[in-house]
Chain A
Amino acid sequence: MLDVNRNKNIHLMTLTEVQSVSGFVGNFEVEVLQHAKYTNSDCNGCRACEEVCPAYSASEFDQNLGPRKAIYVSFAQAVPMVAQIDMTKCIRCGLCMDECELNAINFDDTDKIKKLKVGTIIVATGWDEFRQEGYLGYGKYPNVITQLELERILAPNGPTYGNIVRPSDGKHPHKILFIQCVGSRDLKRNRHCSSGVCCLISIKNTKLIKQHDPNIDVIVAFIDIRAGGKAYEEYYLESRKYGVKFVKASIPRIQEDAETHNLKVYMQDMLQDCSEMKEHEFDLVVLSSAMEPAQGIGILNDKLKLERSPDGFFKEYHSRLNPVDTNVVGISLAGASQGPKSIAETIMQAKGAASSANIIMRPGEYRMRMEKAVVDEIRCSKCGLCVENCPYDAIALDPVQKFAVVDEVKCRSCGICAQTCPSQAITVRNSRGSQFNAVIDNLLYRVAE
Chain B
Amino acid sequence: MAGTIRAQYPTIVRPVLVSCAGRVSSDMIMRAFGKGADGVAVVGCYEHECNYLTGAKHGGRNVKYLQQVMDSVGLESERLQMHYCSAAEGQKFQKTMVAMFEKINALGPSPLRELAPKPKPQSNTNKETKPKK
Contact = CB atoms under 8 A, between A and B. Distances in A.
A310 B120 CA distance: 49
B23 A419 contact: yes
B49 A437 contact: no
Interface in A366-410: 371, 389, 391-392
A310 B23 CA distance: 23
A445 B54 contact: no
A203 to B, nearest CB: 34
Given A310-B48, A436-B28, A445-B119, A414 B19 contact: yes
A391 B52 contact: yes
Nearest to A439: B16
A389 B12 CA distance: 34
Q: How large is the interface on B (under 10, 10 to 19, 20 to 34, 35 or more residues)?
A: 35 or more
Interface in B49-65: 49, 51-55, 58-59, 62
B61 to A, nearest CB: 10
B19 to A, nearest CB: 5
B40 to A, nearest CB: 9
A442 B53 CA distance: 31
B36 A448 contact: yes
Nearest to A414: B52
Contacts of B54: 389, 391, 416
Given A419-B25, A440-B28, A431 B35 contact: no
Interface string B1-39: 000000000001010101110111111100110011100
B45 to A, nearest CB: 11
Interface string A423-449: 010001001010011011111111111
A362 B118 CA distance: 59
A307 interface: yes
A412 B23 CA distance: 12
Given A307-B51, A391-B54, A443-B16, A416 B22 contact: yes
26 contacts: A305-B53, A307-B51, A310-B48, A371-B19, A392-B53, A414-B55, A415-B22, A415-B23, A419-B24, A419-B59, A419-B62, A433-B25, A433-B27, A436-B28, A437-B31, A439-B129, A440-B35, A441-B35, A443-B14, A444-B14, A444-B32, A444-B116, A445-B120, A447-B12, A447-B37, A448-B36
10 smallest beta-carbon distances between A and B, as pairs = A415-B23, A414-B52, A391-B53, A416-B22, A419-B25, A444-B35, A414-B20, A391-B54, A443-B14, A448-B119
